[in-house]
A and B are shown apart, each in its own frame.
Chain A
Amino acid sequence: MPIQINKSVVGKEMPPFVVTVERGKIKEFARAIGDLNPLYLDDRVGQASEFGDIIAPPTFLTTFRDESADTSALLRELGTDISRVLHGEQEFEIHRPLRPGETFLCRSRVLDVYEKTGKSGPMAFVVREMVVTDKTDEIVATARHITVVRL
């Protein structure tokens, strides 16, 4: 018996949250990928670069999460749990590189929920978007995330 997905979450806005980029976190993230680019890891190379400091790798935005939020709350609201979800698609638009010490405001919302039947059976797709702005209210990045729920 397939589970039912609660589509009323479409349009839901999560509480905004603030993230400060930490120098050590950038390096830890780059090393976890095995990407040893000196612009991510070497402070002196960063300082001498056009960016004035080390920068974060493109997919570092995936670390931007609301530490105070209950991460399983949205899944519960959708009517599912973590054992049924897969990461379907991910997109980042990056207007400029992120540097250590910068503080950003992140606003996420659910854009869409739709169902499709694929090779492995019925699935629901949950589309979320996170807009990241800096202190001058300039958009620095947008992340779009599609979660697949196996129904």
Chain B
Amino acid sequence: MKYARVYAGDVKVGDELPPLVKGPIQQIQLTRYAGASGDFNPIHQDDEFAKAAGMGGVFAHGMLSMGFVAQALTDWAGAGRVRKIGVRFAALVRLKDTVTCRGRVLATSSKDDLHLVELEIWAENGKGEKVVSGKATVALPSRE
């Protein structure tokens, strides 16, 4: 089941998120993301502009890749469970690239009713290069 519920007691350090493969990236998705996010930087829409800016052509919004990584987290932990997510945009995502989102549990902690899981998270393009890397914290329910 895609949105299976994960409980705090089931999670161990070293556990990996099920990989989430997004893309291939198409221009229409970047246009749609511009409208939805309000980021109309022409560098994501207009190839001539992106080339003139020295970027070699259009590339995806970093925030779109961060949205993909957040989806990998919430597909696993559940929507509304992410308490912190921080990433560095390490490389550009180009048109036709696939983006594979991954994560691994770094630490778990429990205090009273609050069960936190810290993860490293990242996304790779089709060549296996990291395009996004960072950390996240999710709060999970306990079984009781």
Residues in A lying within 8 Å of B, measured CB to CB: 25, 28-29, 31-35, 37-40, 49-51, 55, 57-59, 62-63, 65, 82-84, 86-95, 97, 144, 150
A-facing residues in B5-32 (Cβ within 8 Å) = 22, 29, 32
Question: In the complex the two chains form, is A144's CB within 8 Å of B79's CB?
Answer: no
Report A-chain residues with C-beta under 8 Å of the C-beta of B85. 58-59, 91-92, 94
Residues of B within 8 A of A55 (CB): 79-80
With an 8 A cutoff between CB atoms, is B1 at the interface? Answer: no
Q: Are B71 and A33 in contact (CB under 8 A)?
A: yes
Looking at A28, A58, A88, A91, which has the most chain B CB atoms within 10 Å of its CB? Answer: A58
Complex contact B33–A144 (CB within 8 A): no
Tally of contact residues, B, Cβ under 8 A = 41
Complex Cα–Cα for A57 and B70 (A): 8
- Across chains A and B, the number of contacting residue pairs, with CB separation under 8 Å, is 111
The verdict on B128 contacting chain A, using a C-beta distance below 8 Å, is: no
| Least CB distance, B133 to chain A, in whole angstroms | 10
* Bound Cα distance from A91 to B69, whole angstroms: 13
Q: A58 touching B73 by the CB < 8 A rule?
A: yes
B61: Cβ under 8 A from any A Cβ: yes
* The residue from A40, A63, A83, A144 contacting B37, defined by CB atoms under 8 A apart: A63
A116 to B135 Cα, complex, angstroms: 23
A90 touches B86 (CB 8 A): yes
Besides A37-B3, A62-B39, 6 other A-B contacts (C-beta < 8 A): A31-B36, A49-B80, A58-B85, A83-B52, A87-B89, A89-B134
| Inter-chain contact B86/A97, CB cutoff 8 Å | no
User: Judging by beta carbons under 8 Å apart, are B35 and A58 in contact?
Assistant: no
State the CA gap A80–B51 with chains docked (Å).
18
Can you list 7 A-B pairs, Cβ within 8 angstroms, ordered by A?
A29-B36, A32-B32, A33-B64, A37-B3, A38-B3, A62-B37, A92-B84
Contact A90 B36 (CB under 8 A): no
- Which of B3, B41, B61 counts the most A-chain CB atoms under 10 A from its CB? B41
User: Known: A32-B37, A59-B85. Contact between A87 and B62, CB under 8 A?
Assistant: yes
Report chain A residues within 8 Å CB of B3.
37-38
Name B86's contact: one of A84, A87, A144 (CB within 8 Å). A144
- Which A residues are in CB contact (< 8 Å) with B39? 62
Cβ contact of B70, chosen from A32, A51, A58, cutoff 8 A: A58
Question: Which residues of chain B are within 8 angstroms of A29 by Cβ–Cβ distance?
Answer: 36-37
B67–A59 CB distance below 8 A: yes
Provide the residues of chain B in CB contact with A49, threshold 8 Å.
Answer: 80
